[in-house]
Structure 1
Amino acid sequence: MAERYLEISLVKRGITCTARLLGDRAPITCAAVRKSLPLSGDVGWVPGIVWGQVVEGLGAMAEGCNDLWRTGAAGETLSFRRV
């Protein structure tokens, strides 16, 4: 599988990072993720597995996620799209 990337955004906060899909580690999940894109919705606790690695914008996304944790997710949208 060629390297494939996603853009992940906290829309309200205007924060975006780029993640590389780990198709060699989770090929079925990565295929399902790509097939479902674009996708967005409210932030919430969900069980998960590792299917990607942030390769750009991690600092800003981490700060945004920490702010989300402290101030709440009301009105925020988590968005995924192909790069």
Structure 2
Amino acid sequence: MSDRHIELSLDKRGVRCTAKLLDDRAPITCEAVWNALPLSEDVYHAKYARNEIYALFPAFADREPPLENPTVTPIPGDLCYFSFNGTQLGTQAYGYEPGADVKAGATVVDLALFYERNNLLLNGDVGWVPGIVWGQVVEGLDQMAEACNDLWRAGAQGETLSFRRA
């Protein structure tokens, strides 16, 4: 199989980067994401994991992928996949607006980009939160990291994170 690539974008800011899918390390997750593309939703900046932006989606795989290629210490450029039950995210502490798909019982998929170092996936409410590393940014990370820092400082309101085939 030849390498597959996707484009991530912060649409309002007009910033894009390209990532290679890690089909050799997370084949089930890569296939699930690839088949669901394009995906676009409101972007959030992490509260607990530090240098992370992400979007939440309703479950899109026939079955949730197993924990393949897991990490609790993502590095710059890692794309991670997390799966949560809505009750895990449905508290006011997370700050999701009504309408965000965090309903009790619903599976919520979190697709995340880590843009800088020193990340630790440890949540005070639930403990360790391993993610599946399914992609790695290969082009445009510097510009995306700058936009992510701006998103942290200026806010995410009205901004979307999009994933599409490159």
Instruction: State if a TM-score over 0.5 links the two structures.
Output: yes
Structure 2: runs of 5+ lacking an equivalent? 47-53, 55-81, 83-130
Alignment TM-score, normalising by the size of structure 1: 0.93
Structure-to-structure mapping, 1:47-66, within 5 angstroms: 47=82, 48-66=131-149
Count residues with an aligned counterpart: 83
Q: Secondary structure at the match of 1:51?
A: strand
Moved more, 4-13 or 47-56: 47-56
Select the structure that is richer in helix.
Answer: 1
Structure 1 equivalent of residue 153 of structure 2: 70
Structure 1: runs of 5+ lacking an equivalent? none
Structure 2 equivalent of residue 16 of structure 1: 16
Aligned alpha-carbon RMSD (Å): 1.3
Alignment TM-score, normalising by the size of structure 2: 0.48
Q: Aligned partners of 1:42, 1:49: CA distance in 2, in Å?
A: 21
Larger radius of gyration: 2
Question: Where does structure 1 differ by over 2 angstroms across 4 or more consecutive aligned residues?
Answer: 44-49
Please list the CA deviations of residues 20-65 of structure 1 after superposition, one character each: whole Å capped at 9, or x if unmatched: 0001110000000100100100013564421101011010000011
Moved more, 44-53 or 59-68: 44-53
